[in-house]
Structure 1
Amino acid sequence: MGVTGIGVVGIGVVGIGVARRVTGVGSDDVASEAAATPHADFPRALALLGAGAMFMEILDATIVVTALPSMAADLGVDAIDATGVVTAYLITLAVLIPLSSWLADRFGMRRVFLTALVVFTVASLGCALAPSLPVLIGMRVAQAAGGAMMVPVGRLAVLRAVHVGDVARAIAYLTWPALVAPVLAPLLGGLIVEHADWRVIFAINIPIGVLGVVAALRILSPDGPRADTPLDAIGAAGAIIAIGAAMAVAEMLTAAPIRWLVVAIGVIVAAVVGALTIRHLRRAAHPLLNLAVLRVKSFGSVIGYGTGYRMAISAVPFVVPLMLQLRLGWSPVTAGAMVTALFAGNVVIKPATTPLMRRWGIRQVLLAVAVASAITFAGLALIGEQTPPVLIAIGLFVSGMLRSIGFSAYNTVAFADVDATQLGDANALHAAVQELGNAFGVALASVTIALVGGGVGALPAGGYSVVFLALAVVMIICGVGAARLPSRVGAHALGGN
């Protein structure tokens, strides 16, 4: 059948497994988890709605990369110019996320979520019909504006609807899209470009979006504004400029050649404006984001060390396809199929993540994941032309399992100790920092590959091997952060015994 055929079949089989595990149909693991949860009124439909919106947005953000050469050729532009389709989306998404909490409180979560979903869907149609690159980039900006509200507000609706003992269960629903979508995107994008047209990538969002609107109208209860707080215009402007500059720096670091002077200017802008914005937020009567939530030790640890973890796991789906294609000479579709080993590892272990945290505690799980991930990355650094594909698949499968466990643990502990009154601020801040972590994970990999190049002594994959060693170091640092957490951190959010 070949690697490609195995990957395609694997997507179908594992995709069915995802649906069964998430919905609880035919899954003893999830059924036992539900039985251990003390609250019978868990909003499963709402959790699935939030997860579906998240999956659509994350998949759309990552799948486009594979189609850039086809887009450029069809629209009559250089491939380097077409990268604006990706960068405009990611930057817009990151800079608008901090507004999500204020909008949800000011206009109601149901209204904001529905509006965001409609905007995302209509913009997807605009992308599919775009006659030129400027129009396509403009539609991508509109898409990102919808996604920036849709995903964090959907998660906020779920977190506000669950009891504290059900937080881990809610996070289990909300984490699988972020684990699956970036890994599935390279293969799916390659198949669409190879057998259809790049415009299909955007067109598939339209029926999904329509179904999402219908589902949201039925699932989300009508709600009014929670507060009539005026918009903190200074805080909003500062956050937009600082985060936008940081995201621009991350994107510039992925370009070749790297324009170091522009990068330095971006870093200075991000640092200075960021510092001034933080100072303003701490002093303002009605700040856009209340930074007092960072005093919650568990949440602060996730914002710090958890962002490092996010950088590491975001770099892997970016590095592996490039290494397999550019270093080992594999085809794009075959390389994308191999990356589904990460996807398989994510899904296979997912039903066990909450039981593992209940049995050993979140702190111990994070420590174990950090050590095991560092060892796994060190092993992946040894991949070369002579490495059997089965060993590569095993390494990626193990990395995928660890990725799923650690991701679930960090996301659970992030909100475990956050007071209900601070949940909106924590959710928006967490979402924005996650986007920065994703961008800088890819940037770290790109810069390392560019600086190191092809040959590094005994390392078989050159710069790609060095990237994996760097990720191993990041994991060790994350382990230090986990060791500083209380031994029973987040235990009350796990439910069960």
Structure 2
Amino acid sequence: MTTTPSHSKLQPKFYLLVFLVSIGFFMQGLDTTIINTALPAMAESLQENPLKMHGIVISYVLAVAACIPLSGWLADRFGVRNIFFAAIVIFTAASLGCALSNDFNLLIVFRVIQGIGGALLVPVGRLAMLKIIPREQFLSAMSLMSLAGLLGPLMGPILGGWLVEYASWHWIFLINLPIGILGTFVTFKAMPNVAEASVKSFDFSGFILLAIAMVGMALGIENIASNEISRNLSLGLLFAGIISALVYAYHAHTHKNALFRSRLFKNKIYTIGVLGNFFARFGGNAVPFILPLMLQVPFKMEPFMTGVMMTPIVLGSLFSKPIIPPILQRTGYRPFLLVNTLLIGTCIASFALHTADTPTWLGVVHFFIFGVLNSLQFVTMNTLTLKDLPQQDASSGNSFLSMIMMLSMSIGIALAGTLLNAFTGYFSEAHITQAFHYTLICLGAINIITALIFFQIPKDAQI
């Protein structure tokens, strides 16, 4: 008697579908990294302070975080092909809007719209593969798609620096147009419009509460040190965000169709993992934003060379992938996360030792080490968080974790921008390098303190 293998090779008829989903994965991965090296040039073009450009990054990430809970329901209700097609059109049209923007506030608006498209691209694409590709071929399909996810971040920093230096910052958005147009044509060829026969009513009240919570906390932190917005308004936004989060916690406990039910947090490992992901990502997500600024603003490095310098972080991340399983098998979750969290915090703080005269080779090694440690941390935290969830909570738990990861990125970048502006005001523009150094030290210290969360992991937690 023959048995079907648990994983088999992907059939050729699914190649075009995987290619299509990879387009969305590539576009989102490229967009989250390509912009960091372009911020100073964008600031000069838009006549803005380069130290206050973090809003362009935060607006996109916040929109992604806020719309992630909506993606699965829309795909089930209207079909995966229709929503994926809409996502590509929204993302591509918003990219054109970003490129044509000649005003900072208008650019923010189009970045929000682009984030809405980005929030639908990857989750709906992954869901389409899950619904259409046989389960025994799903691992092969995900492995192929993950290559696009690696190519985007790998190309982003260098491509962004090259486009800014030899063309203009507008091309970091225009580059999405041919990719998006290709995706729209392939969608109707490769993706059937699979939908669910019956879909439960959407939790709009919970969705609004979560959106207010995320936007309030991120914008409150982002603007608390701003001279353009009153501190009372910033504190009001932060307070509104916290209150909305608390109200949602009650809502999740009482509403039968809540987006994320409170039973998720009865699982201790999941709760620790979510809290750890939220706080431990502040520094790790802020570094790819703040280092290109430091290299270009006080150190006067050219954009293309800045992109080259950021590439070792991505290479370090790639290097870490195959070594994660054997390390965890040897150490276990608790010892590894305790030690690695301390190492990352120290590594982030040690970026404060960099000056304009730091040898390039030393910077490359330092950035590579950070990439390795950061990737080890993120993958291990994600694995820990989801490993003990029962099957009926797996989808909801994974969506909530994805939302928390994006929220943490937006708050981490907002916090970095706030610290940077506060220290710049304290030290003055003439000593801007010190402002960057103290910001990095603070981010590293926050990461070190986060080790207290992982101290709560049971000592007998199994791999």
If the length of structure 2 is used for normalisation, what is the TM-score?
0.81
Change (3 A) 1:152 1:309: farther
Which residue of structure 2 aligns with residue 140 of structure 1?
111
Aligned equivalent of 2:369, options 398, 414, 421: 398
Alignment of 1:21-32 (within 5 A): none
Question: Aligned AA for 1:123?
Answer: A
Change (3 A) 1:316 1:231: same
Change (3 A) 1:108 1:361: farther
Aligned equivalent of 1:316, options 267, 287, 292: 287
Post-superposition shift, 1:240?
2.1
Which residue of structure 2 aligns with residue 332 of structure 1?
303
Which residue of structure 2 aligns with residue 277 of structure 1?
248
| CA distance in structure 2 between the aligned counterparts of 1:377 and 1:82, rounded to whole angstroms | 21
Aligned equivalent of 2:435, options 463, 473, 478: 463
Alignment of 1:7-406 (within 5 A): 39-40=7-8, 52-64=23-35, 66-67=37-38, 78-79=47-48, 86=57, 88-128=59-99, 137-156=108-127, 177=149, 185-213=156-184, 222-225=193-196, 227-253=198-224, 255=226, 259-406=230-377
Change (3 A) 1:256 1:188: farther
Post-superposition shift, 1:230?
1.1
Change (3 A) 1:192 1:170: same
Alignment of 1:407-486 (within 5 A): 407-453=378-424, 461-486=433-458
Give percent identity, aligned residues only: 30
- 1:369-418: CA deviations, max 9, x gaps? 22332332343332234432222221111011111222222223333233
Question: Aligned AA for 1:415?
Answer: L
Change (3 A) 1:390 1:304: same
| CA distance in structure 1 between the aligned counterparts of 2:230 and 2:92, rounded to whole angstroms | 35
| CA distance in structure 2 between the aligned counterparts of 1:196 and 1:169, rounded to whole angstroms | 36
Question: Aligned AA for 1:40?
Answer: S
- The answer to whether the 8 Å contact 1:192/1:201 transfers is yes
Q: Secondary structure at the match of 1:485?
A: coil
Post-superposition shift, 1:256?
5.7
- The answer to whether the 8 Å contact 2:75/2:195 transfers is no
If the length of structure 1 is used for normalisation, what is the TM-score?
0.76
- 1:5-50: CA deviations, max 9, x gaps? xxxxxxxxxxxxxxxxxxxxxxxxxxxxxxxx96336799677765
Change (3 A) 1:372 1:141: closer
Q: Secondary structure at the match of 1:230?
A: coil
Structure 1 gaps, min length 5: 1-36, 492-497
Change (3 A) 1:247 1:451: closer
| CA distance in structure 1 between the aligned counterparts of 2:436 and 2:43, rounded to whole angstroms | 27
Post-superposition shift, 1:358?
4.4
- The answer to whether the 8 Å contact 2:81/2:191 transfers is yes
| CA distance in structure 2 between the aligned counterparts of 1:367 and 1:324, rounded to whole angstroms | 30
Change (3 A) 1:66 1:471: closer
Post-superposition shift, 1:196?
1.7
| CA distance in structure 2 between the aligned counterparts of 1:52 and 1:367, rounded to whole angstroms | 37
| CA distance in structure 1 between the aligned counterparts of 2:129 and 2:332, rounded to whole angstroms | 24
Question: Aligned AA for 2:73?
Answer: W
Structure 2 gaps, min length 5: none
Which residue of structure 2 aligns with residue 3 of structure 1?
none
RMSD: 3.9
- The answer to whether the 8 Å contact 1:298/1:485 transfers is yes
